[in-house]
Structure formats: C-alpha cells, structure tokens
Amino acid sequence: MIKQSFLTLLVFFSIIITANAQFGIGAGLLYGTDSELGFTGRVNYNINSKIGIFAGYSLLSSESEEDPLTGLEASASASSFDIDGHYHFSEGATKPYVLAGISIWRVKAEVLGFSVSASETGINVGGGVIHSLSDKFSLFGEAKYVIIDGGRLCLLWVLIMDFNLQLIQNTSRITAYVVRLFLIS
C-alpha cells in the first residue's frame, strides 16, 4: 500500500514537472552532400525553454545514373534516423541553437536488379535557428555534420507545428484516475 501511494505521488509530481513541456511535429526539405534533395519528418519535445530533443527520419535518394566506364545503370538511396539534443541560446521568437546527437544511416544501392544495403551509426554536431511564426508554427534552418566514414554535411529547412500541453489544469483529475487504478489492481 505504501509503494502504491508513493508511486501515485511520483506520477502526480511528474505531471507537474512536465506541464510546461511542448511537443512539435514537422516536415521539410533536406540537402545532403552525397545526394540530391530529400525529405524529412521531425518530432520534438522541449524540456524547457533552453533544452529540446528532436527525433527525425530523413529520406535521400539519387536518380538512376549510368556508369560511364561500364555502361551499367545504378541507383542509390539513403535514409537516416536521428536523435539530437538542442541547446537554445535565447528565449525570444528567434532562437539560435547548437546540437549534438546520434544518427543511424541506411544506404541501399541497386545494379542490374541486385541490391546491397548497409547501416552505419554516426555522431551529429551542428547548429541552427528556430523562428516562431506564431503560437502554433515555427520555421527552422539547420546545418548538421554527420561524422561517419569521412562525414556528410546535411542542410535542413523544416516547418514545425507546436502542440502546447496544458496539464496543470487537469492534474487533479489525472491523479484521481491513477489512484483509482491502483486501488482496483
């Protein structure tokens, strides 16, 4: 019974701590040094006004090209999953930031109907600027260097829609539900 009460208080306090959190979801364009234009989707969670976590999936592809030496046609595509931590230098409408994170890249090449793929993990370092267009929309540009086998420079332009969570108003209702859940089980 004591463990259940402590767990209920822990849930109650964690809700209060995250009440000012902000989620966002976005999509945008990506340019990588080893490919043509690509697309990216992002979600973010701002822990506070200075620190945020961004997770994203990006897809880069190149057109089929003919090798001038062999005459064979080949195509390649690359995708990545990134998790980056952002540190924002200001709290105004325009926020410059630095980032660090990890990136998992998957590259696939196809020649004569045969395909080969490989995955690699790397480290992201970079920076950018987020500018709030309104309460719900932000636009950011980012330059990120991915350190994998010689490195890749990626440039992003993303439009984000922000979702503000207002949990403090509903804290008592959520806590009562959690207490009831523990008493039943």
The string of pLDDT tens digits covering residues 112-161 is 878 888 898 989 999 988 888 887 778 878 888 888 876 666 665 655 55
Residue 46 is encoded by which pair of tokens? 């701002």
Does residue 91 sit in the same domain as residue 125? yes
**CATH number of the CATH domain containing 87:** 2.40.160.20
Domain tally for the chain? 2
pLDDT value of position 17: 37
Residue 84 is encoded by which pair of tokens? 């980056």
pLDDT value of position 18: 36
Does residue 80 sit in the same domain as residue 39? yes
pLDDT value of position 14: 33
Spell out, as residue ranges, where the chain has pLDDT lower than 50: 1-20, 164-185
Does residue 105 sit in the same domain as residue 157? yes
Range of the domain at 145: 22-164
Residue 125 is encoded by which pair of tokens? 């370092």
Does residue 43 sit in the same domain as residue 119? yes
pTM score above 0.85: no
Helix (H) or strand (E) holding 55: strand 51-61
Does residue 185 sit in the same domain as residue 146? no
Does residue 4 sit in the same domain as residue 84? no
Does residue 147 sit in the same domain as residue 175? no
108/79 Cα distance (integer angstroms): 9
Does residue 98 sit in the same domain as residue 177? no
103/146 Cα distance (integer angstroms): 7
pLDDT value of position 91: 82
Does residue 111 sit in the same domain as residue 149? yes
Does residue 72 sit in the same domain as residue 11? no
Residue 87 is encoded by which pair of tokens? 């540190």
Q: Which DSSP symbol is given to 85?
A: E
